[in-house]
Amino acid sequence: MTLVMGILNVTPDSFSDGGMYAEVDAAIARGVQLAHDGAHLVDVGGESTRPGADPVPPEEERRRVVPVIRALAQAGIATSIDTMHAATARAAVEAGASIVNDVSGGLADPAMAATVADLDVDYVAMHWRAHSTRMDSLDAYADVVAEVAGELDARVDALVAAGVREERIVLDPGLGFSKVTASNWPLLANLEAWSRGRRVLVGASRKRFLGAAIARPGVDAADPTAREHATTAVTALAAAHGVWAVRVHDAAAAVDATRVVSAWENARRPEGWAP
């Protein structure tokens, strides 16, 4: 069954919930709630990657995330660290995180690949072209599926050359990163073409391209929370295509969607339906 990765932004400026969990106690409580709602992993991040976001020094990032990861790990909750910085990745894994989720795919920090190889943990390599301050200007593709496939292949090659075991690598198409609206949909519709059989993480939750799809009178498509039903629809479709995990704000809705897909798929089997 597709795993659900619950988003925990320990930041003052994330696009959907910035500031809500910026304090350690609030962040820990939110992580516990995500796990209670069924999230298999809580993805803890201390730096916003929304379009236009300013970078955060790694020292400040670690100050935000390490106490939260340590507390959640001590409570028996599986966590991942959402970071582009090798030093933060190492500190988070030492505090209890089991996965490194890097939106830059190792491009932002030259030390990341060797660090992940040394840590020997699962590593999510996302398709990325530039930092948040300029990524929208790089939404330029002749063939988005072929180009993303080629750029992700190059990242896998570089990671493996640095010592990362290939079976540890998970690919993320980078929805919303150097892809404003229309460029995102072909990547979802052609998962197999760019993933090359590798595990896939889909992170569509509340993003702008969903707002563009649902825009109509009476719907404030610019409000990230208005995109929640659309997010759940993408979760169901991604799960039906067998993705390894989805990264979401509303863990309960995503868990329900993946369980419905599992029940549907189970009913196709000779032994019949099982909950």
Catalogue the active-site residues.
207, 247
Amino acid, single-letter form, for residue 139: D
Rounded CA-CA distance 90/168 in Å is: 16
Rounded CA-CA distance 171/98 in Å is: 16
Q: Are 195 and 171 in contact (CB under 8 A)?
A: yes
| Strand-strand pairing, 122-126 and 3-9 | unpaired
Widest CA span in the chain? 55
- Say if residue 272 is exposed, middle or buried (CB neighbours under 10 Å; 0-12, 13-18, 19+): exposed
Rounded CA-CA distance 131/108 in Å is: 8
